[in-house]
Copies of this chain bind each other. A is one copy, B any other.
Amino acid sequence: MPTLQDVAKLAGVSSATVSRTFNNPELVDFATRSKVTAAIRKSGYTRNETARSLATRSSRTVGILTDTFVSNYFAPILEGASKLLGQYGYYATVAATEHNLSDAESTDSQIRAWRSLIDRQVESIIMLAFMESADLAHLAKEFPKSIVIGTSIDADQHQCITFDHYIGGRLAAEHLLKNGHHNIVMITGPTHKQDSVQRGQGFIDKLKEHDIQLGINQIFIGDYTFQGGRNAMRKIIESGQNPTAVFAQNDDMALGVASECYNAGIAVPKDTSIVGFDNSNLSTVMSPPLTTIDQPLMLMSRAAATLALNISYGRAHQTPLENPQTHFIPTLIERDSVANIRT
């Protein structure tokens, strides 16, 4: 690998001049500039970003912390953030923790992944909401240049891109109500996740306003996975409640529910209606297409990336980008998985 020095020698100039033709071409004479570019081409030189980062104390890199790449929820966020960053000449590097471990190991692995980002001198970290808010808050406190996306951690201290899960829950309930449903069950996400409890609370509250109590028997604990949704639906069927509608707190589970319905010969939405949450890729791909709550992950991830960029711009005394929207409100996307059973 040729270095700046090699190029400089080849072009008969000093390495400073070569560096300048890269970073401040306006400072170098046209004639020498072309000598240099010729030498660069000839030697096949490629800049060593590592050395550049060290010298300038800026990596032009933002880290993203996630626990997996295989997720209908996280993947679009990675995509959105990394592409936007790329457009501004920044680089996104994502660290994935090892999951499927015991609690202690998994916390350990989360910290390792997080440290690896910091060690790599990322200029900020976008944290996806895959762990408990308290843990996120803890990390964000250690490393203030953090941005949390999808959940909020105790307020003003830190930057968050938030989404109103509570209203989402209400919207789901409202839609079911409007279509005449009373006998309703809900499948939750992991109980320790804030977003899940908010979605649930919104749903329950709205129902309660219409004098429908969602009791312990109408609430099934899920885990945001297809299989989880499936298991829950099996239990629902076994319970003999014959609900006319089920609210699954995310689309993966909604698909699981639909799948179990299919197996049991239950027609969707004729026999039972389903509403999901997230409006992920899955929702348009299901048959019937899923009525769900839209969470604009692309916008949110781009907003997070913009915040990240502004952290870096701030340090470099560059003029910041326009501040993005940081709080997002859900909307209901009506498709074909909810039947109107009004008499």
Chain A residues proximal to chain B, CB less than 8 Å = 46-51, 53-54, 59, 68-71, 75-76, 78-79, 82-83, 86-87, 91, 93-96, 98, 113, 115-116, 118-121, 226, 255-256, 258-259, 262-263, 281-282, 284-288
Contact between A119 and B288, CB atoms less than 8 A apart: no
- Given A46-B119, A50-B50, list of 11 further CB < 8 A pairs? A48-B54, A48-B121, A49-B120, A50-B59, A51-B54, A82-B96, A83-B96, A86-B96, A86-B113, A93-B94, A256-B285
Within the complex, what minimum Cβ distance (angstroms) separates A40 from chain B?
13
Contact between B96 and A116, CB atoms less than 8 A apart: no
Task: Choose among B91, B262, B282 the residue that contacts A287 (Cβ–Cβ < 8 A).
Answer: B262
Within the complex, what minimum Cβ distance (angstroms) separates A248 from chain B?
14
A286: chain B residues at CB < 8 Å are 259
Contact between A281 and B119, CB atoms less than 8 A apart: no
Contact between B79 and A75, CB atoms less than 8 A apart: no
A47: chain B residues at CB < 8 Å are 119
Within the complex, what minimum Cβ distance (angstroms) separates A3 from chain B?
11
Contact between B121 and A49, CB atoms less than 8 A apart: yes
CB closest chain-B residue, reference A260: B287
In the bound assembly, the distance between CA atoms of A50 and B262 in angstroms comes to 54
A282: chain B residues at CB < 8 Å are 285
Q: Given A49-B121, A50-B59, A259-B285 in contact, is the A91-B68 Cβ separation under 8 Å? A: no
In the bound assembly, the distance between CA atoms of A129 and B244 in angstroms comes to 46
A91: chain B residues at CB < 8 Å are 95, 116, 120
A93: chain B residues at CB < 8 Å are 93-94
A262: chain B residues at CB < 8 Å are 287-288
CB closest chain-B residue, reference A52: B119
Within the complex, what minimum Cβ distance (angstroms) separates A138 from chain B?
15
Offer 10 A-B interface pairs, CB within 8 angstroms, sorted by A. Answer: A46-B119, A68-B79, A70-B281, A75-B75, A79-B96, A91-B95, A91-B116, A258-B287, A259-B287, A262-B287
A288: chain B residues at CB < 8 Å are 262
A120: chain B residues at CB < 8 Å are 49-50, 91
Q: Given A50-B50, A94-B94 in contact, is the A79-B83 Cβ separation under 8 Å? A: no
In the bound assembly, the distance between CA atoms of A57 and B25 in angstroms comes to 28
**4 residue pairs, one from A and one from B, having the closest CB atoms:** A262-B287, A49-B119, A69-B78, A69-B79
Contact between B285 and A115, CB atoms less than 8 A apart: no
A116: chain B residues at CB < 8 Å are 49, 91
A121: chain B residues at CB < 8 Å are 48-50
Within the complex, what minimum Cβ distance (angstroms) separates A256 from chain B?
8
In the bound assembly, the distance between CA atoms of A288 and B119 in angstroms comes to 47
